[in-house]
Chains A and B, each alone.
Chain A
Amino acid sequence: SAVISQKPSRDICQRGTSLTIQCQVDSQVTMMFWYRQQPGQSLTLIATANQGSEATYESGFVIDKFPISRPNLTFSTLTVSNMSPEDSSIYLCSVEGGVTTEAFFGQGTRLTVV
């Protein structure tokens, strides 16, 4: 199994500012995933982050709004830029478990934009 630490666990931010969310894994993983969960909704995949290459974004998500870094095999960051109240969501980091194929999730970052 993989243990994932996300920071911060929650934050309240002013509109127009940016927040960077960190995801640290206790083992090396090839792919890391970032999800958004809007209030009362299911999870939506934002992007896939591979080490050494640009992140791959899903339809409806763009790099200027959600820049992602993946400097090594155990760490990634997601930035939510120029925030508006509509960005208020839980943001989750996920990794593949390895040969057992199940994915593991962090506890999420609860973001409120005021």
Chain B
Amino acid sequence: DAKTTQPPSMDCAEGRAANLPCNHSTISGNEYVYWYRQIHSQGPQYIIHGLKNNETNEMASLIITEDRKSSTLILPHATLRDTAVYYCIVRVGYNNNDMRFGAGTRLTVKP
């Protein structure tokens, strides 16, 4: 079973920041928070991951609370192409068969 809770859907205006929350209250000390997205009819795409520090890359920022029980994925300037299902996953990481997908959040970016 997935160990995360996400809202089923969100809307965002084009050009605005999209903030996608994720609750992972049972996260273990050695588990990372990963974010993936799946654009319609494509395979999931890696976005970002982190352990306890905030992370930023060319796609997004990841903010993890100090107690690590929740996190927020931020798409700073959402475009129509960011419309997708976003999955938050907690896992130990490399070479583990522990990638479990929950229902995710369906983000719709509107003009």
Chains A and B bind each other? yes
Interface residues on B, range: 20 to 34
- A33 touching B97 in the complex, CB below 8 Å, given contacts A42-B87, A102-B49: yes
> For residue A96, which residues in chain B have a CB less than 8 angstroms away from its CB?
94-95
B95 touches A107 (CB 8 A): no
Q: CA–CA, A104 to B44, complex, Å? A: 8
- A105 touching B44 in the complex, CB below 8 Å, given contacts A30-B95, A42-B103: yes
With beta carbons under 8 angstroms apart, the residue of A4, A94, A106, A110 that contacts B99 is: A94
B34 touches A102 (CB 8 A): yes
Count A-B contacts at CB 8 Å. 50
A102 touches B46 (CB 8 A): yes
With beta carbons under 8 angstroms apart, the residue of B41, B42, B87, B93 that contacts A101 is: B93
A103 touches B97 (CB 8 A): no
In this assembly, does B100 line the interface, its C-beta being within 8 Å of a C-beta of chain A?
yes
With beta carbons under 8 angstroms apart, the residue of A31, A44, A97, A108 that contacts B43 is: A108
Contact residues of B between 53 and 104, Cβ < 8 Å to A: 85, 87, 93-95, 97, 99-104
- A/B interface sample: 7 pairs, CB < 8 A: A4-B43, A48-B97, A97-B46, A98-B94, A104-B46, A105-B44, A106-B43
